[in-house]
């Protein structure tokens, strides 16, 4: 059935395929393997196309059988390449070349109708088996690659919850605020209430109610910032105590920290500064209660070993008025060259006194029934003493190199 020239042609095909070495190389083929495989499939496709023009029936049948076997081998080669491909894009390229619309296998299936009837089943069977096997290998490999990629992705995305956290820069309190908190804590511990009020005050609350009438020379000592319509920036926190007394009956125990303002600027004075005032009004309060209370406060803030002393002082709103000193906590009064107390042995701490009866009357309290003591201190100055800071202006410049030291 087969003529001489067909046999020769088939022999040539077989030798060419052997020589190409594709079959043995297949397991190791990667990218280059795919290229080889593609060239191989392309040349087979040409041969399939040639078949259509061959007139001789027997020759057509023989060639069809041979070609379908070669196509099956080519598909086998392609599936081996598919199994070593680890890249989805290359795998798709391989699929299109071997199973796509213009692949050799597809071409052969289209040609089957025109082949001699006796070879159709075998050619059809071979090409279908080759197609199925290649399809299965490719889709299995695609699934495998996808799963592997997901695996890698998951491993890379893992969050290690045992890693140390990002350190968050921690702030801290300003030295003035530390002293304020210390003082306020002490009084709150005694049962005093914390009271606050406006920084813009009326002339009445800041001066008049405190026994400083209009035109009184004591006003000029305050270096007041005057605003419109009888308003001022408060020069002390005393107006908070006036408001407290006007709002309630005795007994009164309040501590009033806050910002205060005076037209002053030098190494120990800033236009804004802090004050803490306190007030106690009750039946039977004496200068002894004042001294005991303030001595305990000083020891709470500066150290339990301290001694205190009272000297006569003067304030418009207290009578009698006193100044309180602390024994020097650096030298204890024993170093004539002490940098802090300059050899004096004592440090000025605060001003205080028994509330002037005129002030009690102004807020509607009966001075015959009630007495009170009041005190005022500057936490900025106290912080300078406590932490050894020479210039008050450093407190308000916001230089972190300074502030971070406390
Ligand atoms: C000081 C002295 C002082 C007061 C403040 C006061 C308040 C009322 C009535 C009576 Cl409502 N007194 N406050 C009393 C004495 C002294 O402050 O050197 N402060 C820095």
- Tell whether the torsion through CA atoms of 45, 46, 49 and 51 is positive or negative: negative
Q: Is the CB of 257 under 6 A from ligand 1?
A: no
DSSP 8-state class, residue 28: G
- 265 has a pLDDT exceeding 90: no
Query: For residue 238, how far is its CA from the centre of ligand 1 (angstroms)?
Result: 7
User: What is the structure's pLDDT at 3?
Assistant: 53
Q: How confident is the model at residue 32 (pLDDT cuts 50, 70, 90)?
A: low
Lowest mean pLDDT among 29-38, 53-62, 92-101, 320-329: 29-38
User: What is the structure's pLDDT at 129?
Assistant: 93
Mean pLDDT of 363-386: 95
Give the ranges where 191-278 is alpha helix by DSSP (H): 203-206, 238-247
Closest CA to ligand 1's atom 8: 238
- 209 has a pLDDT exceeding 90: yes
So where are the chain's domains? 4-156, 175-403
219 or 260, which is more confident: 260
Closest CA to ligand 1's atom 5: 376
Are residues 254 and 279 in contact, defined by beta-carbon separation less than 8 angstroms?
yes
User: What is the structure's pLDDT at 104?
Assistant: 87
User: What is the structure's pLDDT at 51?
Assistant: 66
Q: How confident is the model at residue 346 (pLDDT cuts 50, 70, 90)?
A: very high
- Tell whether the torsion through CA atoms of 98, 101, 105 and 107 is positive or negative: negative
Q: Is the CB of 280 under 6 A from ligand 1?
A: no
Q: Is the CB of 382 under 6 A from ligand 1?
A: no
- 304-316 confidence digits (pLDDT tens): 888 999 999 999 9
Closest CA to ligand 1's atom 12: 374
Q: Pick from 375, 378, 382 the residue to mutate for probing ligand 1's pocket: most ligand atoms within 8 Å of its CB.
A: 375
Q: Is the CB of 123 under 6 A from ligand 1?
A: no
- Rounded Cα–Cα distance for residues 204 and 207 (Å): 5
Lowest mean pLDDT among 23-37, 103-117, 189-203: 23-37
Burial class (CB in 10 A: 0-12, 13-18, 19+), 106: middle
Q: Is the CB of 285 under 6 A from ligand 1?
A: no
The structure's pTM equals: 0.62
Query: For residue 195, how far is its CA from the centre of ligand 1 (angstroms)?
Result: 15
Q: Is the CB of 186 under 6 A from ligand 1?
A: no
The CATH architecture that domain 175-403 belongs to is: 2-Layer Sandwich (3.30)
Mean pLDDT of 61-68: 86
Are residues 321 and 313 in contact, defined by beta-carbon separation less than 8 angstroms?
yes
Of 35-49, 82-96, 241-255, which has the strongest mean pLDDT?
Answer: 241-255
Beta strands 252-261 and 193-194 are parallel
Structure tokens at 371: 């007495």
Let me know how long the chain is. Answer: 406
The rounded percent of the chain whose pLDDT value lies above 90 is: 50
Are residues 318 and 353 in contact, defined by beta-carbon separation less than 8 angstroms?
yes
Q: How confident is the model at residue 186 (pLDDT cuts 50, 70, 90)?
A: very high
Q: How confident is the model at residue 29 (pLDDT cuts 50, 70, 90)?
A: very low
Query: For residue 375, how far is its CA from the centre of ligand 1 (angstroms)?
Result: 5
């Amino acid at each position: 059935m087969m003529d001489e020239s067909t046999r020769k042609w088939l022999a040539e095909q077989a030798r060419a395929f052997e020589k190409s070495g594709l079959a043995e190389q297949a397991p190791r083929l990667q990218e280059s393997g795919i290229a080889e495989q593609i060239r191989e499939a392309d040349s087979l496709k040409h041969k399939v196309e040639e078949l259509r023009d061959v007139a001789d029936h027997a020759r057509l049948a023989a060639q069809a059988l041979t070609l379908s076997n070669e196509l099956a081998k080519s598909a086998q080669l392609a599936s081996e390449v598919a199994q070593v491909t680890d890249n989805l894009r290359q795998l798709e390229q391989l699929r299109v070349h071997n199973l796509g619309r213009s692949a050799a296998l597809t071409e052969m299936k289209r040609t089957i109708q025109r082949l001699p009837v006796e070879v159709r089943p075998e050619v059809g069977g071979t090409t279908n088996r080759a197609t199925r096997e290649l399809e299965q290998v490719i889709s299995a490999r695609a699934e495998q690659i996808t799963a592997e990629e997901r695996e890698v992705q998951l491993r890379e995305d893992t969050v290690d919850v045992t890693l140390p956290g990002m350190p968050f820069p921690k702030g801290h309190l300003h030295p003035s605020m530390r002293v304020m908190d210390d003082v306020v804590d002490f009084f709150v511990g005694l049962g005093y209430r914390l009271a606050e009020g406006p920084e813009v005050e009326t002339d009445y609350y800041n001066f008049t109610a405190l026994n400083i009438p209009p035109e009184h020379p004591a006003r000029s000592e305050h270096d007041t910032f005057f605003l419109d319509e009888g308003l001022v920036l408060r020069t002390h926190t005393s107006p908070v105590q006036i408001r407290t007394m006007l709002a309630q009956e005795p007994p009164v125990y309040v501590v009033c920290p806050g910002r205060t303002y005076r037209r002053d600027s030098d190494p120990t004075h800033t236009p804004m500064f802090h004050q803490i005032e306190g007030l106690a009004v009750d039946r039977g309060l004496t200068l002894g209660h004042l001294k005991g209370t303030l001595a305990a406060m000083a020891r709470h803030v500066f150290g339990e070993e301290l001694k205190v002393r009272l000297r006569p002082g003067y304030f418009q709103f207290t009578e009698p008025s006193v100044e309180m000193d602390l024994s020097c906590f650096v030298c204890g009064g024993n170093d004539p060259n002490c940098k802090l107390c300059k050899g004096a042995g004592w440090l000025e701490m605060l001003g205080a006194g028994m509330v002037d009866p005129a002030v009690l009357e102004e807020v509607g309290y009966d001075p015959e029934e009630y007495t009170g003591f009041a005190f005022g201190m500057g936490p900025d100055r106290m912080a300078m003493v406590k932490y050894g800071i020479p210039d008050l202006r450093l407190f308000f410049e916001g230089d972190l190199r300074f502030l971070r030291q406390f």
